[in-house]
């Protein structure tokens, strides 16, 4: 820890001046930890003297707010470990397992040729909404039209 504060002789001179005039000859008090000059005069100075009990203590042990926060960031408080309910496992402790289900990728031709597979993919929603919306909400020309089970399927009648 650095000691930037005034020497004992300077403290004695400044305290004698304060006792005689109820103010310091300068408007700044130096932080003993960081060396920053902090403005103190008038009621602020008198309240700080009351807080530190004497002017000597203020001049020799004053630590500014910025230096206190720097010390806090250098020595961070470690949070306590959370207690969990009985039988509950945190997500970090659950082992990750890969799914064993193989993925099958179908081409558009396979979907169009197989009614069962097409019904599985088109039940509930349109498989080609881009084509549906581009054709004025009609399904004319879609290759899945014959086997499609979508509820919004419409055909333009000419």
Return per-residue pLDDT of the chain as tens, 158 residues. 456 778 889 889 999 999 999 889 999 898 988 888 989 889 989 999 999 999 999 988 898 888 888 877 766 777 787 777 777 767 777 777 777 777 778 888 888 888 888 888 888 888 888 877 888 888 888 888 888 888 877 776 65
Same domain? For 67 and 13 the reply is yes
Same domain? For 26 and 70 the reply is yes
Q: Is residue 126 part of a domain?
A: yes
Same domain? For 16 and 69 the reply is yes
Same domain? For 58 and 16 the reply is yes
Specify the number of domains making up the chain. Answer: 2
Contact 144, 118 (CB under 8 A): yes
Separation CA 4–CA 39 (nearest Å): 16
Q: Is residue 134 part of a domain?
A: yes
Q: Is residue 127 part of a domain?
A: yes
Q: Is residue 82 part of a domain?
A: no
Q: Is residue 93 part of a domain?
A: no
User: So what's the pLDDT on residue 53?
Assistant: 92
Q: Is residue 64 part of a domain?
A: yes
Structural domain for 39, as ranges: 8-74
pTM recorded for the entire structure = 0.44
User: So what's the pLDDT on residue 158?
Assistant: 58
Q: Is residue 96 part of a domain?
A: no
Same domain? For 70 and 116 the reply is no
User: So what's the pLDDT on residue 16?
Assistant: 93
């Amino acid at each position: 820890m650095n000691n930037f504060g005034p020497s004992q002789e300077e403290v004695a001179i400044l305290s004698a001046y304060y006792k005689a005039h109820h103010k310091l000859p300068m408007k700044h008090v130096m932080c003993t930890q960081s060396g920053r000059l902090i403005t103190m005069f008038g009621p602020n100075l008198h309240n700080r003297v009351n807080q530190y009990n004497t002017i000597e203590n203020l001049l020799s042990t004053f630590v500014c707010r910025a230096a206190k926060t720097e010390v806090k960031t250098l020595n961070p408080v470690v949070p306590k470990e959370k207690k969990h309910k009985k039988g509950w496992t945190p997500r970090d402790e659950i082992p990750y397992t890969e799914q064993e289900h193989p993925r099958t990728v179908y081409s558009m031709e396979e979907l169009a040729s197989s009614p069962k597979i097409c019904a599985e993919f088109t039940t509930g929603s349109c498989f080609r909404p881009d084509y549906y919306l581009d054709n004025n909400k009609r399904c004319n020309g879609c290759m899945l039209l014959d086997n499609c089970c979508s509820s919004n399927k419409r055909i333009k009648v000419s």
